[in-house]
C-alpha cells in the first residue's frame, strides 16, 4: 500500500511538472511573439523631433571611409540636422583591431567635409557595442548639459539614427543609460533575419538588462 501511495504521488508530481513545462513554453512563445511584433512595429516608426543632439550609431568604416551602412546613417543624420532638429551631431563607434580610424572619427570627417561646422560635431569613439556607445554618449551629453544648468540627473533628449530593425533595442538601451530617445531610422528595410535577431536580443535584454546583454554577446 505504501509503495502504491508513493507511486501515485510520483505520477501526480510528474503530471504537475509536465503541465508547468507546457505552460512555461506557451508563455515563453507568447512573450517572444509579442516582442517580435513590437520589434517589427518599431522598425516602421520615425519619431524625429526637436532634441539636444542627433546621435549616429557606429557602423563599419574602411580606412577612414564610411561603409554604405554608415554613410546612409550619416546622410540621414545630416538631413535631420539641416532641418534644425538639433544643434549637435554625435558620431559614435570605436575601431576594430588593426584599423587606423575609429567609426566616430570617420563620421566626423565625413560630416565636416559636407560643411558641418566642427564645433557642431561631437566625437564619441569609445564603445564597441550599442550599450557602450550610448553610455559614453550619455555621459558626454549630460556633462555638457550640466555645465549649462543647475539641474542634476538630466535625461537629455536625443534623436538616434541607425537602421530600422535596431529601433526598439536602441530606445530601450538609451533609456537604460539615462537618455530620452527619439529614434529616426534610415530608410533601409528590415530583413526577417535581422528582425528575428533583434527579437532575441530584446527578449533577453528586457529580462537581464541591456548592459548585461552587451556583456554576454561581446
Question: What DSSP string runs through 170-198?
Answer: HHHHHHHTTEEEEE---S----HHHHHHH
H/E stretch holding 105 reads helix 103-113
Alpha-carbon gap, residue 138 to 93, rounded angstroms = 14
User: Regarding the domain delimited by 43-217, which CATH topology (the fold level of the hierarchy) does it fall under?
Assistant: Rossmann fold (3.40.50)
State how far the Cα of 165 lies from the Cα of 213, in Å rounded to an integer: 17
Q: Which residue is listed with cell 575609429?
A: 102
In this prediction the pTM is 0.88
Structural domain spans, the chain = 43-217
Mean pLDDT by 10 residues, the chain (218 residues): 64 82 91 96 94 95 94 97 97 90 96 96 93 96 77 76 95 96 88 93 96 89
Is 159 strand, coil or helix?
strand
Amino acid at each position: 500500500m505504501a509503495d502504491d501511495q508513493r507511486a501515485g504521488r510520483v505520477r501526480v508530481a510528474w503530471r504537475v511538472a509536465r503541465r508547468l513545462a507546457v505552460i512555461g513554453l506557451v508563455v515563453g512563445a507568447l512573450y517572444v511573439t509579442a516582442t517580435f511584433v513590437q520589434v517589427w512595429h518599431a522598425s516602421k516608426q520615425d519619431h524625429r523631433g526637436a532634441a539636444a543632439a542627433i546621435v549616429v550609431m557606429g557602423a563599419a568604416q574602411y580606412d577612414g571611409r564610411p561603409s554604405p551602412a554608415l554613410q546612409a546613417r550619416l546622410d540621414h543624420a545630416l538631413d535631420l540636422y539641416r532641418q534644425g532638429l538639433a544643434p549637435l551631431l554625435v558620431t559614435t563607434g570605436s575601431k576594430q583591431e588593426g584599423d587606423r580610424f575609429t567609426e566616430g572619427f570617420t563620421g566626423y570627417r565625413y560630416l565636416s567635409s559636407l560643411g558641418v561646422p566642427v564645433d557642431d560635431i561631437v566625437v564619441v569613439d569609445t564603445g564597441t557595442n550599442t550599450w557602450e556607445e550610448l553610455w559614453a554618449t550619455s555621459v558626454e551629453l549630460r556633462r555638457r548639459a550640466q555645465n549649462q544648468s543647475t539641474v542634476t540627473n538630466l535625461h537629455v533628449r536625443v534623436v538616434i539614427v541607425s537602421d530600422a530593425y535596431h529601433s526598439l533595442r536602441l530606445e530601450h538601451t538609451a533609456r537604460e543609460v539615462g537618455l530620452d530617445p527619439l529614434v529616426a531610422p534610415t530608410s533601409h528595410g528590415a530583413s526577417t533575419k535581422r528582425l528575428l535577431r533583434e527579437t532575441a536580443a530584446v527578449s533577453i535584454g528586457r529580462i537581464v538588462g541591456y548592459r548585461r546583454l552587451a556583456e554576454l554577446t561581446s
